Amino acid sequence: MIDGKIYVAGGRPPGGSAFEVYDPATDQWERLPDLPTQCNHLAMAAVNGRIIVAGGRFDPGAFGERTDVVEIYDPATRRWTQGAPLPAPVGGITGAAHAGCMFVFGGEGEQSHVLGLTPTAYGYDPRADRWTRLPDLPIGIHGLKGSAVIDGRIFLPGGAITLGGNTGTNAQQVYRPTMRCE
């Protein structure tokens, strides 16, 4: 959220470049400049007045090609810029904002991970335009619908523990970030 407005991005084709904002005060949606890179199953967070979109899948297949692309939208200028790419291509991820940083968790990553899921966590410092590998999650997950930041902790509820999303978990993973970007 920025200024009380909710931003949504991406999706499966043909709407994979869609970028819109919802204003609850007026109950109105507005179409914004398209994502430069069409993708779905991405991570997104509002950090320092900008929207950061990271990773995701390129194509409409069940497990499309994963990407490391990072794009940053500035609502003041209504323009997109590129950020430093994720350290590895990953899709089916979730993101969170805390202490001026963006955090990205889990997803479909290297096939060397159990069941093709990755427990990885990354932190992005938008001022330095740099990603940092953080300690892994206890459980590799993908397909989370969101996260919550409460009292400096990032809560990651549930998610799928196998590719395809047919096997979910009710595990509540809690991440305590020490990284600060302020």
Backbone φ and ψ for 144, nearest 5 degrees, come out as -65, 145
Per-residue confidence (pLDDT) for residue 111, from 0 to 100: 55
Distance, CA of 86 to CA of 131 (rounded, Å): 7
Task: Look at 1-15, 44-58, 64-78, 118-132 and tell me which has the smallest mean pLDDT.
Answer: 1-15
Per-residue confidence (pLDDT) for residue 12, from 0 to 100: 79
Q: What is the largest CA-CA distance in the chain?
A: 48
**pLDDT tens profile 64-115:** 688 999 999 999 999 999 999 999 999 999 999 999 999 999 988 765 455 5
Per-residue confidence (pLDDT) for residue 63, from 0 to 100: 60
The residues near 2 (Cβ < 8 Å, ≥ 6 apart) are: 46, 49, 50, 51, 75
Cβ atoms of residues 78 and 66 within 8 Å? no
Q: Mean pLDDT score of the chain, rounded to an integer? A: 90
pTM (two decimals): 0.92
Q: CA angle at residue 42 from 164 to 121, to 5 degrees?
A: 90
Specify the pairing of strand 79-82 against strand 50-54. unpaired
Cα–Cα distance list, 112 to 90, 104, 122, 125 (Å): 13, 19, 18, 28
Q: What is the mean pLDDT of residues 51-75?
A: 86
Distance, CA of 85 to CA of 129 (rounded, Å): 9
Looking at per-residue pLDDT, the higher value among 22 and 164 belongs to 22
- Does the pLDDT value for residue 164 go beyond 90? no
Q: Which domains does the chain have, with CATH numbers?
A: 6-175 (2.120.10.80)
Q: What is the mean pLDDT of residues 144-155?
A: 92
Distance, CA of 143 to CA of 100 (rounded, Å): 24
Sheet holding 101-105, edge to edge: 94-98, 101-105, 121-125, 130-134
Max mean pLDDT range (54-58, 99-103, 141-145): 99-103
- Per-residue confidence at 158, pLDDT binned at 50, 70, 90? confident
- Does the pLDDT value for residue 16 go beyond 70? yes
- Does the pLDDT value for residue 52 go beyond 80? yes
